[in-house]
Amino acid sequence: MRKRFEISVEDIEPQMDEVLKTQGIPSDKSPPEKVKSLFQESKDIFLKYSEPVGIISDISVFEFETVYRGEGLNEKETPLDEILNKADNLVLFALTIGERVSEKIRELFKTNDFALGCMLDSVASAGTDKGGDVLEENFFNLLSKKGKVNLQKCILRFSPGYCGWHMSGQKKLFEFLNPEDIGINLTDGFLMIPLKSISGVIVFGDKEIFNFDDNYPFCSECTTHECKDRIRKLFRDLRPEKEKGGR
Ligand code: SF4
């Protein structure tokens, strides 16, 4: 299966607290009015100029091992090494919000409007990341229609450049997925163009396989430890209160 998704920009609209968190502003603090208005202005530009589109494509564990090996530069042990052989299904994915938002960011920096340029950059990154969530949901829904989903199953995505998967892994990933079909190209330095793009693998399987510790040698350099939040979310009980025995 290979599937392209035209995604509604409203579905990837980032919230202010999500964006400010990436700038180090905690969600329990109310930001100054100036910051709120910069966020609003950035979000309006984002909604006007984003053109989100994504693609997913089935890949077997065997084939993915070749993709994951990449140029042989991954860390010795990684979370994906542990998870892969226990996964039920994998898809490669890529998503972009297009070039027009990046053009706007460049224009703002050229005209020395750094405050708005920085905020738009953060909004666009958060929106692109949300696009990844939408692709995960779409994949999950496809599996659900095939009757593969139950309360023990979930999905998690991984990308080159993170968690021990070397950035150069983009090369093999592009050879297998061909995200050029949705307008994403790879530079010799493994950067995706448009810059506001993401790619990687979405893994589907039992929740337990994703319950890894953030104590790999490279984790000491990780500034976010966001795997902890992502894993915590997977283990949240999503059943309605009534089914959980609540009121
Ligand atoms: S701590 Fe950071 S680098 Fe380590 S697994 Fe978690 S997200 Fe990845």
Sequence-distant (≥ 6) Cβ neighbours of residue 2 within 8 angstroms: 55, 56, 57, 58
The stretch 96-113 carries a mean pLDDT of 97
Q: pTM for the full model?
A: 0.91
Higher pLDDT, 199 or 26: 199
Using the mean position of ligand 1's atoms as its centre, give its distance from the Cα of residue 47 in Å.
Answer: 31
Quote the pLDDT of residue 236: 63
Q: Which long-range contacts (CB under 8 A, 24 or more apart) does 60-66 make?
A: 60/90, 61/85, 61/87, 61/90, 63/176, 64/90, 64/92, 64/201, 66/172
Beta bridge partner(s), residue 185: 193
**Rounded to whole angstroms, how far apart are CA atoms 86 and 210?**
10
Given a cut of 60, whether residue 247 has pLDDT beyond it is: no
Higher pLDDT, 211 or 240: 211
Sequence-distant (≥ 6) Cβ neighbours of residue 79 within 8 angstroms: 158, 163, 164, 212, 216, 227
Using the mean position of ligand 1's atoms as its centre, give its distance from the Cα of residue 115 in Å.
Answer: 30
Domain boundaries, the chain: 2-237
| 8 Å CB contact between 56 and 138 | yes
The stretch 99-109 carries a mean pLDDT of 97
**CATH code for residues 2-237:** 3.40.109.40
Mapped onto helix, strand or coil, the DSSP state of residue 162 is coil
What is each CA distance from 121 to 53, 155, 187, 208, 237, in whole angstroms? Answer: 18, 27, 20, 35, 34
Q: What's the mean pLDDT when you consider all of the chain?
A: 92
Is the minimum distance from the CB of 227 to ligand 1 under 6 angstroms? yes
Using the mean position of ligand 1's atoms as its centre, give its distance from the Cα of residue 32 in Å.
Answer: 32
Question: Closest by alpha carbon to 102, among 186, 197, 226, 19?
Answer: 197
Is the minimum distance from the CB of 235 to ligand 1 under 6 angstroms? no
Is the minimum distance from the CB of 219 to ligand 1 under 6 angstroms? yes
The two most distant CA atoms of the chain are separated, in Å, by 58
Sequence-distant (≥ 6) Cβ neighbours of residue 227 within 8 angstroms: 79, 163, 212, 214
For residue 216, give the ligand 1 atom closest to its CA.
Answer: 4
* Banded pLDDT at 22 (limits 50, 70, 90): confident
Reported as a single tens digit per residue, the pLDDT across 134-152 is 999 999 999 999 999 888 9
Q: In the numeric block, which tokens belong to residue 6?
A: 């035209």
Reported as a single tens digit per residue, the pLDDT across 168-191 is 999 999 999 999 999 999 999 999
Is the minimum distance from the CB of 124 to ligand 1 under 6 angstroms? no
